[in-house]
Amino acid sequence: MDPFSITVGALGITEFAISSIDHLRGLINSLAEAKETVQDIASTLEAVQRPLAALKELNFSDSATYTAAKEDLENTGVTKAVNECGQACDNFAEKLKRWTKQYNSKKMSIRDRLSVGVWNKESIYTFRTQIQSCQSIVQFAVVSTQL
């Protein structure tokens, strides 16, 4: 490996989002009975993880290119979007825990089912939109940076 070869992962902008997404996906997967309602969120989270992983692994051959890419990621709002994605995942995980506080590993209560499937549909829709926006921004950043 070239001594000047640096990855975006070294910037530290992707770790928080990837960690938050992993945590939320684990939480969603543990809610067996709520999967139908939140399964599309799990798919969206998986879709955003791909460009985040690609962004994390981008290599730069020298420090000047690395510095320019870092500035571009900050100036174009990619860093902010990635951090907001991680924060949105953390916030949604907390909401999901509150909505399913009566859930045990065998069965969801009627209250929890209504909370996830009916009463909080708008919050689920808003979260899905946030994640899709993040995915678009990160995907654009990956393609742009690779050019």
* pLDDT tens per residue across all 147 residues of the chain: 444 445 555 567 788 888 898 888 888 777 765 556 677 788 888 888 888 888 787 777 778 877 887 788 888 888 888 888 899 999 988 988 887 776 555 666 666 666 666 667 788 888 888 888 888 888 887 777 666
pLDDT at 106: 60
The reported pTM is 0.72
pLDDT on residue 114: 62
pLDDT of 4:
43
The answer to whether position 89 is within a domain reads: yes
The radius of gyration computed from the CA coordinates of the chain, to the nearest angstrom, equals 18
**What is the total count of domains within the chain?**
1
- The per-residue pLDDT for 1 is 44
- State the amino acid at position 104 in one-letter form: N
In a domain, 106, yes or no: yes
Using alpha carbons, select from 52, 80, 63 the residue that is nearest to residue 140: 52
Distance CA 38, CA 119 (A): 13
Q: Is 116 helix (H, G, I), strand (E, B) or coil?
A: helix
Residue 3: the pLDDT is 42
User: Three-state DSSP class for 59?
Assistant: strand
Domain, as residue range, for 33: 6-146
Spatial distance between the Cα atoms of 34 and 41, rounded to a whole number of angstroms: 11
CA distance 131 to 45: 7
Q: Is residue 65 part of a domain?
A: yes
Residues near 57 by Cβ (< 8 Å), separated by ≥ 6?
Answer: 7, 8, 9
